[in-house]
Structures are given as structure tokens and as C-alpha cells.
Structure 1
């Protein structure tokens, strides 16, 4: 009886381990899915008229699985823009919050807003004519939690490099 069981085990092992063969024909070519995109919006103003909360409409729609990153241009370095990721906070000398930029999004727009105690007193250099970049990364590109944790999303250049974004294809948007 032991010999028969051993024979079945060996035959089963050979049969299952040799299930390799030529691959079937390739499937029909398809369109690649959406890639990570960057949108830029210039001339963003934070005023009491818009409740310090300009809305930027987006097309195409953002899916629930997408990652949306918002960066504000904070000057230039050797002619290249310097980008800071939101939330971006500024503090008073005593350590209390002076003001900050934050963002959230829906399926059709991104809201970039200022937080603070007296936003009307924030220097106009921080409130008027701001430039933002909105990076949308489809959920399937962000991969596993391990790969997301290895990405420094606060570094705009790292994000652009990781997701192969062509900065010459940045789309311009208007504030609502």
C-alpha cells in the first residue's frame, strides 16, 4: 500500500510540475489606462470674496482610488520653481498658527483654502497671484502600501520622476 501511495505522489508531482507549455496567443491591444497627470493653475487669489477658498474645477473626474497632491510655488531657485506640498503651515514667533494652505477634493474639483485666525492680515504676497500644481495619481499606479510609503510625496521632483510625468504636458486650469 505504501508503494502505491508513493507512486501516486511521484506521478502527481511530475504531472503538476510539468504544466509548462507555450503561452497562448496575445490578447488584443488595448488603450493604456490613464497615467499620472499634472495640472497648473496660476493667479489664484485668497480673498474674503471667495472666503479664502478658491475652487479649481477638474476634467476628467477624480476617482475615489486616486491620490491628489497639491503643491504651491514658493519662489524660484536658480530659475527653477520651488514647490511646497499642502498642507503648508506658517507660525507666529510664539508658536501659534498664523496661517496655512490646505486642500481637499471631490470627483470634479479641488478646493485650496487658507486656515488661520486673521486671514485678511496675511501679507498679499501669500494671498494673491499664487501658482499651484495639482498632481493626480491613479490608484493602480500607486501600487502597494509598501511602494507608497517609500515615496517622498513632499518632494515634487521625486513624485514627477517616480510616476514618469512629462512636465511639458502640464495642463493649465482656471479658478472657478
Structure 2
């Protein structure tokens, strides 16, 4: 029995240590879409303060001021509250429910040229307290879609840290 195990062991070592001739090379992979050679893209961002009123139909359009590609993603955050002087940012849309049953929604949409901020919902915008319509601060972040994968986009700090957003143009 010992001789059989020794024979199998020696045979296994010889069998695994032998190599044969190298086979033909494989085919090259498919060419991917053109990218930015040697460039690292860092997201673009700006901060804007808006007054919503009947004169602007409770909406506001803001051109980016920089190039936005078709594959880019625009995220908008509203300054929702302050905690010891530090801003708390929330991803839009955000909904406010009033005691009278009406609803106010802060929302946005975007194109490659601009971003639109607007109020929506069942509330009478003309009778809202100015705290809901005046001096509303927003942060707009434009990122390549690849940079959003795996990030909790509802957490402004996570998006900011992952995309090296350190400064904002104030508009």
C-alpha cells in the first residue's frame, strides 16, 4: 500500500510539473468607447440661493456655466436645516406635509444646458410663509454616471468626499 501511495505521489508531481507548448494567442478584446486619455474627472458643482414667487412662476432656470455631457448625472441638494451652524443637505425631491393636508415639494429637472428648480404639490404657493419660498439654498453637483455607482447619493457628504468636491461657485 505504501508503494502505491508513493507511486501516485511521484506520478502526480511529475504530471503537474510538466508544461506543454504555448497555444496560439487569443483575440484582442472589443474596443471601448473613447475616453479622456490621462485625465481624472472631478465633479463640477455650484451653490445657488433662490427666491420662489409668482413672478418667476415658482421656478428658476440656471445654466451650468460649464460643459455637461449626455452621460453626466445632475444631483441637487437643498439646505434643509442647520446643526450647530453646520448645514444639513438633503437630496431633492423633498416633500413638506402641512397640517391643513396640503403638500409642498421642492423638485428639479435638468438638461445638458441648465437645471430647473421648481415648487410642486397641492399647497397654494402664493400663501406660503416666506420661510418656504425665500432664500432657499441649493447645491448642484454634476458627475459622470460612472462616479455615482456604489455611492449613497442621498448623503451629500458621501458624494462630496467621493468626488473631491471641495469648493463651490456661489451664484
Bucket of the pairwise TM-score, normalised by the shorter protein: 0.7 to 0.9
Distance in 1, matches of 2:97 and 2:81, equals 19
Take 2:53 and 2:118, find their aligned partners in 1: how far apart are those partners? 10
Unaligned runs of 5+ in 2: 1-18, 26-36
Identify the residue that residue 71 of structure 1 maps to in structure 2: 77
In the other structure, the counterpart of 1:38 is: 45
Q: CA deviation at 1:159?
A: 0.8
Structure 1 equivalent of residue 168 of structure 2: 170
C-alpha distance in 2 between matches for 1:47 and 1:107: 25
Counterpart residue number, 2:30? none
Q: CA RMSD in A?
A: 2.3
**Any gaps of 5 or more consecutive residues in structure 1?**
1-8, 17-29, 143-147
Higher fraction of helix: 1
Instruction: Show the counterpart of 1:132.
Output: 138
Matched, 1:160 2:160: yes
Once the two structures are superposed, residues 34-84 of structure 1 have per-residue CA deviations (whole angstroms, 9 ceiling, x without a partner) of 311220012x01111111111111111322211111011122111111111
1:151 paired residue number: 151
Which structure's CA Rg is the greater one?
2
**TM-score scaled by length of structure 1:** 0.72
The corresponding residue for 1:26 is none
Deviations 1:116-143 (A, max 9, x none): 221112221010111110011123433x
Q: Name the counterpart of 2:33.
A: none
Q: CA deviation at 1:31?
A: 5.9
Q: Which runs of 4+ in 1 moved over 6 A?
A: none
In the superposition, the TM-score normalised over structure 2's length comes to: 0.74
Q: Distance in 2 between matches of 1:51 and 1:78?
A: 34
Residue pair 1:89, 1:97 contacting (<8 A) in 2 also: no
- Residue 31 to residue 60, structure 1, CA distance change in 2 (3 Å): farther
The total of aligned residue pairs comes to 142
Measure, in 2, the Cα distance between the counterparts of 1:34 and 1:159.
14
Is structure 2 residue 106 aligned with structure 1 residue 104? no
